[in-house]
Amino acid sequence: MLESFANGIDKFSTKTGEITSLLVFPLLFVVIYEVFMRYALNAPTIWGFEMTAFLYGMHYMFGLAYTDVQKGHVRVDIFTSRLTPKSQAIVNIITLLVMFIPVFICLVIWTSTFAYSSAVEVERNSTSWAPVIFPYKIIMALTLFFTLLQGLSNLAREILTLIRVTKNEEV
C-alpha cells in the first residue's frame, strides 16, 4: 500500500514536471519579443518584464516536486553517507517528520490563505500593466502542495527502506 502510494505520487510529480517544463517556450518567446521591441524598435512593452517573472516563477515552482522525485535537490550528506542504510533511513524519516513536512504544511496553509484572499479581492499587481495576480498565488499554493505530497512519498519510501533493511537484518 505504501509503495503504490509513493509510486502514484512519483508518477504525478514526474508527469507534472515534464508537462510544465514546456513553460520554457512561452518564457523564451516573451523574452525574445521584449528584447526585440526594446532594442530593435525602441518600444519596450509594459508587460514583458512582469510576464517573464510570472512564467519563470511558475516554471520554478512546478519544478520543485519534479526535482525532488528526480533526486536533483542539493543534499548535504557528508554525515549520513557513512551511516548504514538503516541509520540513513531513520535520519531521513526524522528529518522529513521534524523539518520538511511541518514546514511545507505551514507553507501550504499560508499560501492558500493568501491565494484565497487574493482571489476574493481580485488582486492586481501594483504596476502600470496591473495584471490580476491571484492565479499565480493559487499556482504557488498548488505547487507547494504538490511538493508536500512528494515529501510524503519520500517518507513512505524511507519507511519501506527501513522495513526492508530491518527484515534483512533478522534473516
pLDDT digits (tens, 9 = 90+) for 77-129: 888 889 999 999 999 999 999 999 999 999 999 999 999 999 999 999 998 89
Of 10, 15, 17, nearest to 69 by C-alpha is 10
* Side-chain-side CA neighbours of residue 118 (13 Å): 20
What phi and psi, each to the nearest 5 degrees, are found at residue 133? Answer: -115, 0
Q: Which residue has the cell 498565488?
A: 137
Residue 170 has pLDDT above 80, yes or no: no
CA separation for the pair 147, 10 (Å, rounded): 11
Residue 19, Cα to own-chain centre: how many angstroms?
14
- In the chain, where the domains are located: 2-170
